[in-house]
Amino acid sequence: MTDFEHLYKPAQKEIWTGRVDDLHDPDAYRWHQLMQFLDLRKPLQKERKLSFCFLGFKSDEGVKRNLGRPGAKQGPDSIRKQLANLPSYFNSDVNLFDAGNILCENNLEQSQELLAEAVYKLLQAEMFPVLLGGGHEIAFGHYLGLHRFFKERGEPLPAIVNLDAHFDLRPWHNGISSGTMFSQIADMNRKNGEPFRYLVLGIQQSANTKSLFNRANHLGAQYVLCKAMRNKPLEDTFHKIDAFAKGGKTYLTVCTDVFSSAIAPGVSAPQPFGMFPETGLRLIKHVARNTHLVSFDIAEVAPRFDDDEQTAKLASVLIFALLNTLYKPDVNLIL
């Protein structure tokens, strides 16, 4: 609880502001009019409605250690500002919560442990966590929380689906970073006698060494190159996702550097030949519709490089599509 006192900040209500078209017509509401606020220092009640809960991870430390461009620490609030004005397609049977931010001052390992505790609390309260990065080091703390929750329940661990230009499977014996998370998870699961199920969509050959490809193959990780999705029908990748997940639980993580830098300039490692937004959107909706998705995060939105907030806007629209798909998977909205 002590860590929560100095590395946790409850939600700032003033971030959730925007246009108000009507104060009484729910069909005219926007997300900021629905938002409720949680303090993770207090006990949470189990939710009976479908409940999505936002939680930020304000960290640049993993990116700095990975020699990337820092700036993602301000990403969670930048994304929130874009989410606030989104139109609501939810009925009264959905709750939206904001649980604030986990902070990382210097000790990344400590902040990841605290993030794991926060994720665990949300899952216990039967909420769907929507985590906002921060660097992609968010993924290790996120997975630790998922691991604890499902192990205690005696249920299979969720498989990991990652939209990313990078494997993030670097060795971590000299320290952890935003490039080591899935290597850490693989080693932890192997030590515990548990499977490492990892699928990466959007890999760039120019962003990964031959050694990393070898490491991925050695660990049994699956991947699809970005150029393969551009040159072949996306249905091929859908089939791969379905075979990988087999209808089981999944955890979806998105690193915004998977997208073309023309669309997503505000990232640590821009990709000129990255994925187009329509492709990412279709992949995310497919995972939401065709697997048992239990948690989600999006990482590496860096406002200091984000011209006209393009990347934060992209992140918000992807979250909009994801939550609406989880809410009504059989309804095809505009996106």
Instruction: Please state the CATH superfamily assignment of the domain spanning residues 2-327 in this structure.
Output: Ureohydrolase domain (3.40.800.10)
- Peptide bond between residue 134 and the one before it cis (omega within 30 degrees of 0): yes
pLDDT, position 332:
67
Q: Looking at residues 40-66, what average pLDDT do you find?
A: 95
pLDDT single digits (tens) 297-307: 999 999 999 99
- Pinpoint the alpha helices (H) of 246-309: 277-290
Residues forming a β-bridge with 224? 201
Count of other CB atoms within 10 angstroms of residue 187: 16
CA distances from 186 to 110, 140, 199, 240, 294 (A): 20, 11, 12, 21, 19
pLDDT single digits (tens) 79-109: 999 999 999 999 999 999 999 999 998 899 9
pLDDT, position 247:
80
Residues forming a β-bridge with 160? 198, 251
What does residue 37 show for φ and ψ, rounded to 5 degrees?
Answer: -125, 135
pLDDT single digits (tens) 106-164: 899 999 999 999 999 999 999 999 999 999 999 999 999 999 999 999 999 999 999 99
pLDDT single digits (tens) 235-256: 999 999 999 999 899 999 999 9
- What are the extents of the domains in the chain? 2-327
pLDDT, position 33:
97
For the CA atoms of 243, 195, 178, 307, the dihedral, rounded to the nearest 10 degrees, stands at: 20
Q: What residue has token string 């939600």? A: 11
CA distances from 299 to 60, 63, 162 (A): 11, 11, 11
Q: What is the DSSP string of 257-270?
A: GGBBTTT--SSSS-
Check residue 246 and report its DSSP letter: T
**Cα separation of 230 and 321, whole Å?**
21
Q: What is the DSSP string of 172-186?
A: -TT---TT-HHHHHH
pLDDT, position 196:
98
Strands 292-299, 159-163: parallel, antiparallel or unpaired by DSSP? unpaired
**Cα separation of 136 and 180, whole Å?**
10
Q: What residue has token string 């998705």? A: 293
Least confident piece of the model among 65-69, 223-227, 278-282, 310-314: 65-69
**Cα separation of 221 and 335, whole Å?**
30
Contacts of 15 (CB under 8 A, 6+ apart): 77, 80, 81, 84
C-beta separation of 246 from 222 below 8 A: no
Q: How far apart are the first and last CA of the chain?
A: 41
Least confident piece of the model among 53-57, 265-269, 319-323, 330-334: 330-334
C-beta separation of 134 from 239 below 8 A: no
pLDDT single digits (tens) 189-247: 999 999 999 999 999 999 999 999 999 999 999 999 999 999 999 999 999 999 999 98
Check residue 93 and report its DSSP letter: T
Please determine, for residue 1, whether its predicted confidence score (pLDDT) is greater than 60. no
pLDDT single digits (tens) 150-184: 999 999 999 999 999 999 999 998 899 999 999 99
